[in-house]
Chains A and B, each alone.
Chain A
Amino acid sequence: EDQVTQSPEALRLQEGESSSLNCSYTVSGLRGLFWYRQDPGKGPEFLFTLYSAGEEKEKERLKATLTKKESFLHITAPKPEDSATYLCAVQSAQGGSEKLVFGKGTKLTVNP
C-alpha cells in the first residue's frame, strides 16, 4: 500500500530562518511526487511536481528535491506569508486511476 509520511508535524521559524520539510514515501512505481500549500479552510494550492530522483524545482523561496525514498521542501529566508500547511502527495503507476496519496502535512508558522 502506498504511504506518505511528513515530518515534522509542525515547525515554527523566525522570519529569515531557513529550514527543510521532509516527505518520505513508499509507492509501487512512482509516477510523480507533488507538493501543495494549504491555507486554513481552503483547498490545496499546487506548488511542484517531481518525477524522478535527482530532480529539483524552485519557486521564489521554495525549492523541492527528490530522492528514491524521500523529498525535501527547502524554505530559504521565509516570510510570515509563507505560514501554511505544506502537503506532500505521491501518484502511483498502479491501478489506472490518477489518485493522489497524501501525507498529513507540516504546519509551518513563520514569526516576524
Chain B
Amino acid sequence: ETGVTQSPTHLIKTRGQQVTLRCSSQSGHNTVSWYQQALGQGPQFIFQYYREEENGRGNFPPRFSGLQFPNYSSELNVNALELDDSALYLCASSRDRVSYEQYFGPGTRLTVT
C-alpha cells in the first residue's frame, strides 16, 4: 500500500509569485485535505477535496485554491505569494468523507523571500 506522497520537497519563491504543490493520496483514499503548518505551530486546515469537489474551507484567502483529479491526486495553488506564506504544507488523505483517520504526507517546505 503506497502512502501519501508530496512534491516538491522544498521550494523557494519570491514574494508576488505563484506556486503549485502536488499530492498523491494513499491507495484506496478518495478524500484529500491540505494544511499549513508554520514553525512551532500545529497544522491549520486550508481546504478539503472529496471526489473532485471542494468540501470545506478554513480561514484562508481566495488566493489559496485547489484541485482534485479523477485519480484523487490533488494540487494546492497559491497566488501572489506573501512572506507569511512561508510554512510546511501538508497533504492528508482519508478513505472517504466519513472516515475520520487522516494520513499525512511528508510535506512541502515553502520559503518565500
Write the residues of chain A forming the contact surface with B, with a CB cutoff of 8 angstroms: 4, 31-32, 34, 36, 41-46, 49, 87, 89, 91, 95-105
Contact = CB atoms under 8 A, between A and B. Distances in A.
A36 to B, nearest CB: 8
A100 B102 contact: yes
A104 B100 contact: no
Interface string B42-72: 1111001000000111100000000000000
Given A89-B42, A103-B42, A104-B40, A32 B100 contact: yes
Contact of A43 (B44, B97, B106): B106
B46 to A, nearest CB: 9
Contacts of A42: 106-107
B101 interface: yes
B63 to A, nearest CB: 20
B101 to A, nearest CB: 6
B24 interface: no
